[in-house]
Amino acid sequence: MLRTCISTALIFLTSAALSQPVRYDRATEKAYSGTIKAVASYPAPDGSVGVHLDLTTADGMVSVHVGPAMYIGQQNFWFFADDQIQVIGSRVASEWNTPVWAKAIMKGSTVLTLRNDDGSPKWTPAGGGTDGCGVAHPPLQRATEY
């Protein structure tokens, strides 16, 4: 009887935790520097496209969820493999990975600001289900997501 109660409580708590919306956490902001290994885009059914980067750092590969391609382009910013960048962002755990959600990215002397001081996105967010890049696309199946 006790085991059944404990199991039920654990299932309830786990499902409640997974149903909570994932949010940017300013308390865990950190700087990441490195070289872009790959730039990936993920389209959503509504036609929007989210941009992700595989960043090679001194500590290993980091997946960076940047923002909607449209917003990045409107800021006259772009990314290429082998670009040297610095990212200010926060690791955000979801049910399938722990990427860095970028708040700002510096390339050379140019800065792309992606989030406000409170961590909210600078762009108009898409509907629910976004993963930090501002686009509601299917879950990622990439080697750099962990």
Q: Is residue 7 part of a domain?
A: no
Asked if the structure places residue 87 within a domain, the reply is: yes
CATH at 110 = 2.40.50.140
Between 97 and 19, name the one with better pLDDT: 97
Span of 20-29, 33-42, 54-63, 96-105 with lowest mean pLDDT: 20-29
Instruction: Retrieve residue 35's tokens.
Output: 């070289």
Average pLDDT across the chain, whole number:
80
The reply to whether 3 falls in a domain is no
Pairing of strands 60-68, 84-91: unpaired
Q: Which domain holds residue 91?
A: 22-146
Domain tally, the chain: 1
Given CA atoms 13, 19, 22, 25 in this order, what sign does their dihedral have?
Answer: negative
Residue with the larger pLDDT of the pair 33 and 50: 33
Percent of the chain with pLDDT over 70: 71
Least confident of 47-51, 85-89, 91-95, 140-144: 140-144
